[in-house]
Amino acid sequence: MFTNAHAYPDWTDYYSDLVNLDQIDWPIIQKRDFKRDPDDPRKMERYQAEALIHHHLPITGLLGIMCYDDAMKERIEQDVAARGLTLPVHARPGWYFQ
């Protein structure tokens, strides 16, 4: 299941068919353009479209882990290694609200 915006607004739509992926505002997501815009008051929520997982996602369903900074990256890498997993971890500060 996925949404076309953050799940909390009452105007958000929910989808379970991948044919509806075009309902996501891909241009703002690809540009990482999450700043508030007085001319487009719903833009920030549309940027936060969500993939919703019911109950459980196996670790094999993940391609990697993204985090905010190198300190957190190191911590996550230690946790991943302690569990005997192989999963790439990347720090991407620009992907998060500041």
Domain boundaries, the chain: 1-56, 58-98
Query: pTM for the full model?
Result: 0.70
Say if residue 92's pLDDT is above 70. yes
Q: What's the pLDDT score for residue 97?
A: 65
User: In this predicted model, what pLDDT tens digit does every residue of 18-76 receive, in sequence order?
Assistant: 999 999 999 998 988 778 899 999 999 999 999 999 999 999 999 999 999 999 999 99
Q: What's the pLDDT score for residue 98?
A: 57
Spatial distance between the Cα atoms of 59 and 71, rounded to a whole number of angstroms: 22
CB under 8 A, 24+ apart: contacts of 86-91: 87/59, 87/62, 88/63, 88/64, 89/64, 89/65, 90/64, 90/65, 90/66, 91/66, 91/67
User: In this predicted model, what pLDDT tens digit does every residue of 41-54 receive, in sequence order?
Assistant: 999 999 999 999 99
Q: Which of 56, 63, 59 has the alpha carbon at shortest distance from 84? A: 59
